[in-house]
Amino acid sequence: MAWNDEARVRCRFAFTCPQQWSKLQPTEQHDVRHCAACNRNVHLALSEADARRHSDEGRCIAVPVAREDEAADPDESCWVVGLMEQPYDAEKEE
C-alpha cells in the first residue's frame, strides 16, 4: 500500500515497478512519462480520483509517497510506480 499524507492518495499495487518516475522519458503531457523497459506510459496520480480513473483503464501509475527515511532529502520527491490491483476499491483500504 502507498500513502501520501500531503496528497492523500491510497492505493494497492498488483505490481510495483523498479523504475523511477524521475528517470522515465518525458512525453508531451506533463503528467505522463514513458517506460522504455515495458514500452508503456506511466500516468501521474495525484488524487484518488486520478488513481481510480487510470486503474479502471489498466494504466500504470506513479503515486507520490511520504518518505520515512530520516536521512532522505525532504525536497526530493519519492514515487511508487506500478500497476494497481483490479478492481480499485478505496473502501477496502480503510
Per-residue pLDDT reduced to its tens digit, 7-64: 556 778 898 999 999 899 999 999 999 999 999 999 999 888 898 899 899 999 998 8
Instruction: Give the lowest-confidence range in 8-17, 65-74, 77-86.
Output: 65-74
Tell me: the pLDDT tens digits for 41-56? Answer: 999 998 888 988 998 9
For residue 13, the model assigns a pLDDT of 87
Number of structural domains in the chain: 1
Cell of residue 53, nine digits: 480513473
CA-derived radius of gyration, the chain: 13
Which residue range forms the structural domain that includes residue 27?
Answer: 2-93
